Amino acid sequence: MIEKMEFAILRIMGTALSFIALVWMPWRLRIAYAKFLYRITYVNPKKHPTFMNFIETCNAKYDMGKKTHDAYKNIVIVKESHENNA
């Protein structure tokens, strides 16, 4: 139940950030916004396991990330490398 609520919050926040990107902005502000988005959306899997669970669940549920051979395995490899390096 809690995981479903966390997934819903991630979806709502992602939608809100996407709608902000639709607003007209001068290039300088758009670049600053892109840098801001990078800072807040970079996720260390060790610190935020919910986000990685969200990606894995959505990929499995909607068959995403499998357009190329073994693409989903790459996500698992990256997650394991982050866990091993920490």
Long-range contacts of residues 55-61, Cβ cutoff 8 Å, at least 24 apart: 57/7
Left, alpha or beta for 66 (phi > 0: left; psi -120 to 50: alpha)? alpha
8 Å CB contact between 73 and 59: no
What pLDDT score was predicted for residue 27?
93
* Predicted structure pTM score: 0.46
| pLDDT per residue as tens, the chain (86 positions) | 777 887 788 888 888 888 988 899 899 999 999 888 887 776 666 666 677 777 777 777 776 665 555 666 777 777 788 777 75
